[in-house]
Chains A and B, each alone.
Chain A
Amino acid sequence: MKPNLPLTLLGAALLAVPAVFGQATSGVMGFSNVSAPAGTSLVVPTLVNSSVFQGLAAVSSDGLTITPTVAPGWTAGAYAKTSFGAPVPNYPKFYAEIVSGTYEGILIDIDTNSTTALTAISPVVPAAIRGTTVQIAVREHMTLDKVSQGATGFSAYATVVNTYNANGSTSTRYYDGAGWVADDFSSAAGHSVVYPGTGFVVSTPTAVAFSLMGEVKPTKTVVPLYAGTTNVVGALNPASSTLLYNNSLKASLGQFSDVINNYSTDGNLSNAGTYYVGDLGAGAQVLDGSFSPLAPTATDAIPLNRGVIVNVTGDTTWTVTSPLAP
């Protein structure tokens, strides 16, 4: 499927590996547009924020401290989570991700930092990473505010975003004319995190045009899929849709039981295809709604910047490769 608006590259060198000096370097930057017609649509941003740090780091044995092997000279608190007073919810603003090796793609939310180390919000998982040295990159999270920058068409108190949480609950965010508020109509919610590879459902009475800006993620992304909730997920390719035939989802989903739903992009959010994973004798394959394997020539695809809904019967993860390193 040819995208409506191609990715525009603002140019820069491909991401280097400054393993020694802990620098941040420019990756492949660009922007990608997605329109949400009047009605309801899925949106999965395909760009991430540039890294602010890269380098080798030691993970403490308790998984809560990540210390670069070369002193980074950070400003204490520069990567701290938000600090709103109750009842406004707080969110992580930055994350560290593992960018190479067995655990490439795993993401760790940052609670705060000192001049020399990061403190994770939760102990790093899997536990096998603790007590080891890994190559990391630190990035600022994509947030609802960031995704909305430059967007047009929002209607105050009528444009609504739903995000689906790991525990099965739904968080509703309303555009109040200037930014996003929670479902109490007052608490600031623009810092709501949109994790790489995940997205949200937007309902709007008038068409909205999002202008996504950022970096093409150069490394893998491990996207969690939670049982009992609605997982809005997509590939991190800002230039084209992603074929479902032979998609890496086949390695993650329970056979014949987990469901991938694709939806129309006309605002009606009607089903545009249901898919499963199953082994019918030729290894795990992506199956269509009739439980027949997709053909190699099948054009069924995850739409650009939109994503699909995945329902799983047990928590699992989906490893998404970078379009720069497929």
Chain B
Amino acid sequence: MNRLSKLIIIAVGASCINASAVVTIGHTENATTGEFRLSDGTLPTAGGVSIGFFSSGAPSDAALQALSSNVGTAYTQLLALGWVDVRNLSGTTSPAAGAWDFPTIGGTASNVTTGGTYALNTQLYVVAFNAGAYVAGTQGNMASTSTSFAGSTEWAVIKDTAYKNAADPGGVALLLSSATGAGEVIVGTEGAIGDGANDIRMFGAVPEPSRALLGMIGLVALFVRRRR
């Protein structure tokens, strides 16, 4: 049998085989693996993490950091950049409800379908928010998750070089303890004094003063000058 004939037979045969491209993605936080903290160093009691990738190509770190100017809209801005939470991929079995929400995080997304925009070695990110929760919406439709983490004022973005889609079939555990290299803590602070060595503090933009407050400051300054 010539080689071309063999190849044709292989192609036909392969189409009869069930697809089996799935991996698992786990994430837990504890004193050993590292934990997200609020900007004041306390452990968050609301909010949670979103783990995923950018289907439109990874944005620059600067583009992600720029979203910090308004954390309340950061999640919807991520969606605009093509953000896909792995739980939203069709066929994924999500971890137990709340498993990726604060205060206690520990869970695994199973049967995560690989391929397409989520190919082998796709860079994964862990994004944390301090309010609301992940809204599952409809699998395959990330827009339906747009109300996730509503009310957040602080957030963090981690991109570790080890956070890559695992080979199928396999799994990967995304731990904060492995995010230590340059450019891996994109938004947030690692190793703040008093925190665990692997802990990441979220970042919240300092609010701009309101016009009325600026006006008051100006009047006070004028009053002080006249008294002198």
A residues with CB within 8 A of B: 38-40, 155-158, 160, 164, 168, 174, 185-186, 201, 203-205, 229-230, 255-261, 263, 267-271, 274, 276, 278-280, 289-292, 309, 311, 313
Given A157-B6, A311-B166, A311-B170; 10 other pairs, CB 8 A cutoff: A39-B18, A158-B10, A257-B175, A257-B178, A267-B18, A274-B171, A278-B32, A289-B108, A311-B171, A311-B172
- Which chain B residue has the least Cβ–Cβ distance from A260? B171
Chain A residues, CB < 8 A from B26: 259, 274, 276, 289, 291
B residues with CB within 8 A of A: 3, 6-7, 9-10, 12-14, 16-18, 20, 22, 24, 26, 28, 30, 32-33, 93, 95-96, 99, 106-108, 110-111, 162, 166-173, 175, 177-178
- Residues A258 and B20 in contact in the complex (CB < 8 Å), given A229-B167, A230-B167, A271-B93: no
- Which chain A residue has the least Cβ–Cβ distance from B28? A291
The answer to whether B33 touches A271 (Cβ under 8 A) is: no
Complex-state Cα separation, A229 to B166, whole angstroms? 9
Chain A residues, CB < 8 A from B24: 259, 261, 271, 274, 289
The answer to whether B99 touches A39 (Cβ under 8 A) is: no
- Which chain A residue has the least Cβ–Cβ distance from B111? A271
The answer to whether A186 touches B175 (Cβ under 8 A) is: no
- Residues A268 and B18 in contact in the complex (CB < 8 Å), given A229-B167, A291-B106, A311-B172: yes
The answer to whether A203 touches B17 (Cβ under 8 A) is: yes
The answer to whether B20 touches A157 (Cβ under 8 A) is: no
Which single member of A158, A186, A203, A256 contacts B3 (CB below 8 Å)? A186
The answer to whether A309 touches B171 (Cβ under 8 A) is: yes
16 contacts between A and B (CB under 8 A): A39-B18, A157-B10, A158-B9, A158-B10, A160-B17, A185-B10, A257-B175, A259-B172, A261-B170, A261-B171, A268-B18, A270-B22, A276-B28, A289-B95, A291-B28, A311-B167
A278 to chain B, nearest CB (A): 7
Complex-state Cα separation, A257 to B173, whole angstroms? 5
- Which chain A residue has the least Cβ–Cβ distance from B171? A259
Which single member of B13, B96, B111 contacts A157 (CB below 8 Å)? B13
Summed over the interface, the residue pairs from A and B with CB atoms below 8 Å come to a total of 123
A167 to chain B, nearest CB (A): 12
A243 to chain B, nearest CB (A): 20
Of the listed residues A205, A267, A280, A291, the one surrounded by the most CB atoms of chain B closer than 10 A to its CB is: A291
- Residues A268 and B170 in contact in the complex (CB < 8 Å), given A157-B13, A186-B3: no
Of the listed residues A186, A229, A311, A313, the one surrounded by the most CB atoms of chain B closer than 10 A to its CB is: A311
Complex-state Cα separation, A41 to B106, whole angstroms? 28
Complex-state Cα separation, A158 to B93, whole angstroms? 30
A307 to chain B, nearest CB (A): 12
Complex-state Cα separation, A39 to B16, whole angstroms? 9
The answer to whether B17 touches A256 (Cβ under 8 A) is: no
The 6 A-B residue pairs with the shortest CB-CB distance, nearest first, are A158-B13, A291-B106, A259-B171, A289-B108, A205-B16, A39-B18
Which single member of A160, A276, A279, A290 contacts B99 (CB below 8 Å)? A290
- Residues A205 and B13 in contact in the complex (CB < 8 Å), given A259-B172, A274-B171: yes
Chain A residues, CB < 8 A from B110: 271, 274, 289
The answer to whether A230 touches B32 (Cβ under 8 A) is: no
Chain A residues, CB < 8 A from B107: 289-291
B71 to chain A, nearest CB (A): 28
Complex-state Cα separation, A168 to B164, whole angstroms? 14
Chain A residues, CB < 8 A from B20: 39-40, 203, 268-269
Complex-state Cα separation, A263 to B20, whole angstroms? 11
- Residues A256 and B33 in contact in the complex (CB < 8 Å), given A261-B170, A309-B170: yes
The answer to whether B111 touches A270 (Cβ under 8 A) is: yes
The answer to whether B169 touches A39 (Cβ under 8 A) is: no
The answer to whether A158 touches B172 (Cβ under 8 A) is: no
Chain B residues, CB < 8 A from A261: 24, 169-171
A60 to chain B, nearest CB (A): 38
The answer to whether A185 touches B3 (Cβ under 8 A) is: yes
